[in-house]
Amino acid sequence: MAEDLTKGRPFPVILKFSIPVIGGNLFQLFYTLADTIIVGQTIGENALAAVGATTVFVYFILCFIQGLTNGFSIILAQSIGARDHGGARKNIAASIYISLACTIVITAVTCALTPFIIDIMEVPEEIRKDASVYLFVVLAGTGATILYNLVSNILRALGDSRLPLAYLVFSSLLNVVLDIVFIVPFGMGVGGAALATVLSQLIAGILSLISGIKRYDVLRLQKEDWRGAFEKIGANLRLGFLMGFQMSVMCIGQLVMQASVNSLGTEAIAGYTAATKVDQLSVLVNNAFITAIAAYVAQNYGAGEKERIRKGIWASLAITEITDFIMIAIILIIEPFIVPMFVSDASPLVFDYAWDFFKITLPFYPMLGLLCVYRTSVQSMGNSIPPFAACIVELVARCSASIILGGIIGYAGIVLSSPLAWIGADLIVIPSYAYMMRRKLHQENDR
């Protein structure tokens, strides 16, 4: 095992594990930023709007995939923490079976429904063709996304957060090269940007898998592991699909937000797209801490180290909140340069829409940090009900605020729906964590 998260002081252990994951997530952001910047600068504002108008649906699928594979990794990490390496191999095989089935179903269904998705997203007519091409190509590459996320989460469950980063750095640089080649000399437009992203992620997944098999015995599956996997499929399906569904539910609210923004016109879409691309910095960094916390809590839960979990959560809170405040400062500093980074000749309205997004969202980043830490800790200890309830609250808050507040105060009301969703979810997961830890402490005292 690359890293035993049940030993050592929690703060440095979590921080050491998180840094490579943050690096990997930043390079994932680099993927999408490269697409957006190159599209905006070489093709124009309408092409940028076409990519932005469909990005949330792509993110919706990505959320399900990340949730699904995160669920697999939690079960795997619990097996690793309990030193059950035979069970770990069977869990890996089970996760592969499920992932193959999901690849077939998701790819077939979403590609077939691409025209319908464009309709329900209320994409403006002038960018509908480009949006359809971009969305179809990305959805056709769903298998590459599943492969990379599955392998990465397996490696992280083993305690290795460095190997996925190494190959993601390479593939991110390749993505930029392919973007330029496909768009400029080949003239493939937004479809070329989508194809570059899919190919780069596929390469990252394949290389990570090959290196992981060479490095870790637990990944060298035998016939008995594949046969024994069927006894593990049920548990992996339950947690994987529940976490995938929860993350998808959160994205449904963002789909409603995007549809509301789409109805305001091309300038609103372009400004919102530029702002949300940079806002992904916060999301991806917090997701890195989610990955670290999930691995840390799951391994220690499997090892029965309850007090160590408590100390790790306090360490995670300190790391997460400090990082959120740093990101707020960075975004405020670079804000004037964000829109020009994506569109060279943007109208003043695009700048206004981008700034309105930041001035409403940034003050609430600490609320997002709290949500990430507590929801993940509760889920990694085997309690999926409060996180699910929190996701429903997020969905209701985002949809209702986007529609009601958006109708009353316009764009500002749409943007405000995310902070309201974070606060509502915090009110569920924080008391749930406190109750769980208090109950576990009483159980230990009664022994």
What tens digit of pLDDT does each residue of 367-381 get?
A: 988 998 898 888 888
Residue 447 confidence (pLDDT) above 60 = no
User: For all residues of the chain together, what is the average pLDDT?
Assistant: 83
Whether residue 183 contacts residue 43, with contact meaning beta carbons closer than 8 Å, is answered with: yes
- The span from the CA of 363 to the CA of 277, in Å, is 18
Nearest to 406 by CA among 265, 256, 249: 256
**Helices marked H in 216-305:** 223-228, 230-262, 266-302
Rounded to an integer, what distance in angstroms lies between the CA atom of residue 149 and that of residue 243? 14
**Is the pLDDT reported for residue 283 higher than 60?**
yes
Q: Among 8-17, 39-48, 134-143, 438-447, which stretch is predicted with the lowest mean pLDDT? A: 438-447
Q: What is the pLDDT of residues 198-243, one digit of tens each?
A: 998 898 889 989 999 998 888 888 888 888 888 888 888 888 888 8
Binning pLDDT at 50, 70 and 90, where does residue 445 land? very low
Strands (DSSP E) found in 36-80: none
pLDDT score for 2: 52
pLDDT at 427: 94
Measuring CA to CA, which residue among 288, 271, 425 is closest to residue 360? 271
Q: Specify burial of residue 116 (Cβ count, 10 A radius: 0-12, 13-18, 19+).
A: exposed
H or E segment and range at residue 351:
helix 348-361
